[in-house]
Amino acid sequence: MGWVQITAGIVVIAGALAGLELWRRRSALRRYPADGQQVRVDGVAMNVVVRGEGRPIVMLHGNYGDATDFSGKLRKRASADFKTVIIDRPGYGFSERPPEGLSLIGQAALVRGVVKHTGIARPLLVAHSWSGFLALAYALEHGNEIAGLVLLNPLCYVDDAARRTDPRGHAVYRASEAVSPMLRPLVGSRADRTNIRARFAPEPVPDTEATDPLLNAHRERPKHRRARAEDFAAAMRDAGPLAAHYPEITTPIVIVVGEEDRIASPQHHAYRLHNQVHHSRLVVIPNAGHMIPITRPDDVMAAIHQAWQLAHAQDSDTLRPTPPKMDAEFIKGD
C-alpha cells in the first residue's frame, strides 16, 4: 500500500470521527436543550433555571458539571420546599464566559448579578465541589446579602490535594487535549468514563440524566474545557489569600461531605474549614463519594433545612431588643 492510499485512509477515518463527534454534540442538544432563562450580567449571558416558591436557594455546580447536576430528585424536592435558582456558571452548560477569564471575586460578582436580576433577597447558597471556593469568596465579599452557605464536598484550600483536581493532570485527559479534536471520540471518551467513575467512587455510577454519556459529550465542548482550566487556575491563584479570612465569615455554614470522597479530600478541605470556622456545622455521610447532590439528595435537603434553621436563629438573635441598661446600684443589690 502506497503513501497516497495510507493518507487517504487517515483522512477518511479522521473525517468519520469528526462526523461522529459532531453528531454526538447535536444529539445532546436535541435531547437536552437549554432548560432555563437567559440573564445578561455585565454583557455576559447566563443560563438560569428558576423553580418553586418560598425562601430562596441558589445552587452552584462543580467544574465537571452544569445545572443538570441538580436535576432529578434533588431539584424536585428543593423546588417543592423553596424558590430554587440553579445557575450554569460562566462557560458551563448554556452560559457564556468573558473572553478575559474570571477571578474568584469576579465570578462571585457575576453570580451576585444573576441573584439580583432574579429579584430574590438573602438567598442560601448551595455550592458543590469547586463552587466551594466561589461561595466562600461570595460570603467574604457580600456576606450581609446571603442567609448562609451549604457546602457539598467543597474545595476550599490551595494544597497538593486541590492541585490533584487539575483537569489537565490526568494522562488520558492530556492526551485527549493534545490530539486533534477529530480524534477525541477515541481518546476523550475514555477520559470521560474514567472521570465519571472517580467522581462517584466508591459508589456506583447511577443511571441518571447527569451521567448520560450523550450529555457528557455536550459538557466536553472546547468552551467547557477552557472554563474548567481557567477556574482551576483562578482558584490556585486567588484562594490562598482568601482562606486567611474564612474565620471572618459570620453567616451560618453547613458543610456536608461524603466520607469516602476521592476528589475533594474531606481531611484537606471540609474538616479543615470546619476547624477554622468554629460556628460551622459538619455533616459526614458514611460510604458516600463526591457526587452527593445526585447520590444522596435526602442528606443534602436535610442540610439545606438545617442551614435555614440556623439562619432564622441568627436573625432572631440579631433582632432581639437590647435589654435596658441597669445602673450600678441595681446590679450590686442591697
| Contact (Cβ atoms closer than 8 angstroms) between residue 109 and residue 137 | no
| 3-state DSSP of 211-265 | HCHHHHHHHCCHHHHHHHHHHHHHHHHHHHHHHCCHHHCCCCEEEEEECCCCCCC
Q: Is residue 111 part of a domain?
A: yes
Round to whole Å and give the CA distance between 320 and 90.
40
Q: Is residue 10 part of a domain?
A: no
The angle, 0 to 180 degrees and rounded to 10, between the axes of the packed helices 104-118 and 131-142 is 70
Q: What is the pLDDT of residue 27?
A: 58
pLDDT by position in tens, the chain (length 334) = 577 666 666 556 656 555 555 555 665 556 566 788 999 999 999 999 999 999 999 999 999 889 999 988 999 999 999 999 999 999 999 999 998 889 999 999 999 999 999 999 999 999 999 999 999 999 999 999 999 999 999 999 997 656 666 555 444 444 444 444 555 555 556 666 777 888 899 999 998 877 777 677 677 778 888 999 999 999 999 999 999 999 999 999 999 999 999 999 999 999 999 999 999 999 999 999 999 999 999 999 999 999 999 999 987 765 555 444 444 443 344 3
Q: Is residue 182 part of a domain?
A: no
- Per the structure, the count of domains in the chain is 1
Q: What are phi and psi of 51, to 5 degrees?
A: -140, 150
- Residues 6 or more apart in contact with residue 86 via CB below 8 angstroms: 36, 48, 49, 50, 51, 58, 59, 61, 67, 70, 75
Q: What is the pLDDT of residue 222?
A: 81
Q: What is the CA radius of gyration of the chain?
A: 23
How many other CB atoms sit within 10 Å of the CB of residue 185?
19
Q: Is residue 43 part of a domain?
A: yes
- Which H/E stretch holds residue 127? strand 124-128
User: Cell 448554556 sits at which residue?
Assistant: 94
CATH of the domain at 268: 3.40.50.1820
Report pTM: 0.83
Q: Is residue 309 part of a domain?
A: yes
Q: Is residue 3 part of a domain?
A: no
Q: What is the pLDDT of residue 60?
A: 98
Round to whole Å and give the CA distance between 203 and 289.
6
Q: Is residue 165 part of a domain?
A: no
The angle, 0 to 180 degrees and rounded to 10, between the axes of the packed helices 73-81 and 297-319 is 30
CA dihedral 16, 18, 19, 22 (to 10 degrees): 160
Coil vs helix vs strand at 125: strand
Round to whole Å and give the CA distance between 297 and 70.
9
Round to whole Å and give the CA distance between 175 and 171.
6
- Residues 6 or more apart in contact with residue 64 via CB below 8 angstroms: 129, 167, 195, 199, 219, 228
Q: What is the pLDDT of residue 207?
A: 85
Q: Is residue 134 part of a domain?
A: yes
Q: What is the pLDDT of residue 280?
A: 97
Coil vs helix vs strand at 289: coil
* Structural domain range at position 272: 36-159+218-316
